[in-house]
Chain A
C-alpha cells in the first residue's frame, strides 16, 4: 500500500551529521509536547517529550527545544545514523476542560540519512 511517508517534507542529511527537525504547533494552550519516530509499516514510537515549563530537554543523542513565544518545537539528533531514517511526528497535548485531553499531531517530516 502507499506509504504514509509520501507527500511529506524530506530532510536529507549525511551520516554522522546533526539533524534538526522543526514543528510549528497550533494551540497556545498546549502544555505537553512529544516527538515520535515512525518507521515504515510500524506505529509511532516515543522518542522524547517536554512540558511547557521547560524550554530544553536532552535524551540520548536527541534534544527537544520548545519556543512558546512562536509556538515552535524542534528535535535535534546528534551524529545521525542510518537507523534514524524514518518519519518524525510532533504532537501537542492540551486539556480543553472537563477533565478531557486532546492530542494534535503534525503531518510529519521524513528524515533520510545518506551513507
Chain B
C-alpha cells in the first residue's frame, strides 16, 4: 500500500531533550516536506527536500533540523525542544510539483 508513515504518533517530552520524528514513504517520491499545524495558523512548512542530500528551509525552520540521506526517509530533529514547538506535525511527499500525500501526523507536547 502506498503510504507515508510517521513515528511516533504521540510524544510528550520536556524542554531541552533532543528528539527525532521519523518519516518514511514508499512511493519513490523525490519531494518530501515537514509541516506543523496550529489552530488558526493552518499548515506551515518547516523544511523540504527535493531529493537525497538536498534540503531547504520552509517558512518556519527555526529550532528544527532535517536530513535526507535516503530517498524514502526524511527525519525531523528537534535538538532542544521548547514549549512553543508543541504542535501537530505532518510529513508529506510527492513527485515534483504534484499532489502531496500526507502522513498520519505526530502530536508533540513539550513541557
Cα distance A43–B104 in the bound complex, in angstroms = 5
* B100, A103: Cβ atoms closer than 8 Å: yes
**A95 cross-chain contacts in B, Cβ below 8 A:** 97
Which residues in chain B, 39-53, are within 8 Å of chain A measured between CB atoms? 39-45, 50
**B31 cross-chain contacts in A, Cβ below 8 A:** 101
Interface flag for A77 (CB, 8 Å): no
Interface flag for A61 (CB, 8 Å): no
* B39, A105: Cβ atoms closer than 8 Å: no
Q: How far is the CB of A40 from chain B (nearest CB, A)?
A: 11
**B74 cross-chain contacts in A, Cβ below 8 A:** none
Interface flag for A4 (CB, 8 Å): yes
Contact with B along A40-60 (1 / 0, CB 8 A): 011111100100000000000
Consensus secondary structure, chain B interface: strand
**B40 cross-chain contacts in A, Cβ below 8 A:** 6-8, 107
What is the total number of residues of chain A having a CB less than 8 Å from a CB of chain B? 30
* B41, A107: Cβ atoms closer than 8 Å: yes
**A45 cross-chain contacts in B, Cβ below 8 A:** 102
* A6, B97: Cβ atoms closer than 8 Å: no
Shortest Cβ distance from A45 into B: residue: B102
**B97 cross-chain contacts in A, Cβ below 8 A:** 32, 93, 95, 101
| Cross-interface CB contact of A89 among B43, B44, B56, B105, cutoff 8 Å | B43
Q: How far is the CB of B100 from chain A (nearest CB, A)?
A: 6
**B contact set with A: CB distance below 8 Å:** 4, 31, 33, 35, 37-45, 50, 56, 88, 90, 92, 96-105, 107, 109
